[in-house]
Amino acid sequence: MPRYEFVQGTSSKFWQIELEGSAFTTTYGKIGTEGKATTKSFDSADKAQKEYEKLIAQKTKKGYVLAEGDAAAAGGAEPQERIAGLEKETEGANDEHAERFLFRPVVTFDPEKGLTQAGRGAAYALRLEDPYDAGIDEFLALLDALLADPRVSELRGLVLGCWSSPMDAGDEEIYPRLLASKDKLSALSALFIADAIQEETECSWIQLHDWGSVLALPALEHLRVRGNGTPRTPLASATLRSLCLQTGGLPRETAQAVASASFPQLEHLELWIGSDGDYGGTVIPADLAPILSGKRFPKLRYLGLRNAQNADPYAQAVATSPILGQLEVLDMSLGAVTNLGAEALLASPALRKLKRLNLHQNYLDDAMRKKVKALGIECDVAAGNAEEDDYGDGDVYRYISLTE
C-alpha cells in the first residue's frame, strides 16, 4: 500500500492507497495516527486503475512525497537512508519533541497497540506522560514492552524521551537493555537519546553515562544525543553515517572522544558547541584538529559546528584546514559568527567549492552579508533570532539558539 506524506510548517499528514481489482481503499490523517479509511468501487478494474493513478498524481502535485519505506519497496531494494538536510530536524532543539526522525514520522509507543507502524517505516518514541511523577522504573517498563513486541525486528528508528526529571541518572540502565536485545534490533538504524524539552528538563541537566556503548547495535547508522556526558567506551562503528551531539556546552573530553573515533562511513557530523565556559562547555578549536585534518573521517561531507557562542575561532580554524576541501556543507548556524569569522572563511579558496554554507542566526553586518551572498554558492546568512545586549557594563553579550 503506497504511503505518501506531506510535512510543511505545522501540517503533518499522510495519505495511502491500496488498489484491489475494481476498488481501492484510501487511508488518510495526521502522521502518528491510524487515520480514516474509505473504500470506493468502480464498474471495472480499468476504471479503478485510472482513478488510482489520477489521485496519486493529484497528491504529488500538492506536495505529498512517497514515504521512505515505500519508496524503497518501489525500487525493489532498500537504499541507504538519505541524510542531506538532516540538520533541519534539529533546529527546534529543546522546544518541541521530535515529530520526524531521519525523515520518518515519530509515533509515541503505546504498549496496548504495539509497533503497528514499524513495518511502514515509522520511528517510535518512548515517553512518560509525566516525568516529574514517574521515573526510570516506569520508563524501563515501557522499554521492556517495546523490546518484547513481536514486530520489534521491523523497528528502524527509536527515540528515547525524558526518562526522569532531572535526567541526571537512569540511562545507565537503558543501554544494557538495548544491547541485550541487539539481535532483535537487527533493523534499528537510527537512535535518538534524550529527546527531552525545556518543559521537562534543561539541556545542561541531562547527564549521560556511557552512551557510546550503543554503537555496538549492529545496524546503527544514525545517532543523535542530547545532553552532556563523556562516553567511557572508545567510539567506534563500521556502520555509523551520522552523529549529532546537542549540548548547551560541549565538554572538551567529549569532543576529543569524537575526534579520536573510528567511523569510516561517517558523512554527517553535527556538534553543538554551546556556551564558552558555561553548562559544561570547555571545548576549544584545537580539540577538533584530527577532524579538521580531513584524515579522521574521509567520507565526511557535512560538518556542523552549531550553536557556538565563541564561533569566530572555529570559523578561523575551519578556514585554514584541509577538511574544507572535502565538504559539501559547512554549517555554523544558530551561533554567534561575526564579521571576523566570516572574513576568515571568505579568505579561503576552498569555501567556493562548497554546495552550501549555513550561517543562519549570525552577527554579520549588511555589508558582510552581501559579500557572503556573492560567493556563488547556496548561502543562508539570515540574522534569525540573533540578539545583542551590553547590560550597561561595556561587554557585548551575544545569544545563541540553545542556552539557559
The chain-wide mean pLDDT, for the chain, equals 88
Concatenated DSSP letters for 92-118?
A: TTTTS--SEETTEEEEE--TTT-STTG
CATH superfamily of 3-75: WGR domain (2.20.140.10)
Least trusted range by pLDDT, from 195-209, 238-252, 335-349, 369-383? 195-209
The whole-number pLDDT of residue 79 equals 40
pTM, two decimal places: 0.81
Could you tell me the pLDDT band of residue 60, with boundaries at 50, 70 and 90? Answer: low
DSSP 377: S
Each residue's pLDDT tens digit, 133-179: 778 999 999 999 999 999 999 999 999 999 987 787 889 999 999 99
Gap between the Cα atoms of 63 and 43, Å rounded = 30
Helix, strand, or coil here: 327? Answer: coil
Q: Is the pLDDT assigned to residue 224 strictly greater than 80? A: yes
| Distance (Å) of CA 329 to CA 29, 85, 119, 297, 397 | 35, 10, 32, 15, 28
Could you tell me the pLDDT band of residue 291, with boundaries at 50, 70 and 90? Answer: very high
Least trusted range by pLDDT, from 31-35, 345-349, 372-376? 31-35
* Position with higher pLDDT, 260 vs 399: 260
* Position with higher pLDDT, 374 vs 51: 374
263 CA to centre of own chain: 18
Helix, strand, or coil here: 344? Answer: helix
Average pLDDT over residues 90-110: 84
- Of 344, 343, 346, 301, give the one whose Cα is nearest residue 323: 301
Q: Where are the domains of the chain?
A: 3-75, 86-325
Hey, what amino acid is at 45? Answer: A
Gap between the Cα atoms of 342 and 301, Å rounded = 20
Average pLDDT over residues 359-385: 94
Each residue's pLDDT tens digit, 5-45: 887 666 788 898 888 878 899 999 988 788 888 999 998 87
Hey, what amino acid is at 80? Answer: Q
Tell me, which fold does domain 86-325 have in CATH? Answer: 3.80.10
Hey, what amino acid is at 371? Answer: K
Average pLDDT over residues 359-363: 95
* Position with higher pLDDT, 67 vs 172: 172
Could you tell me what percent of the chain has a pLDDT over 90?
61
- Of 309, 280, 314, give the one whose Cα is nearest residue 387: 309
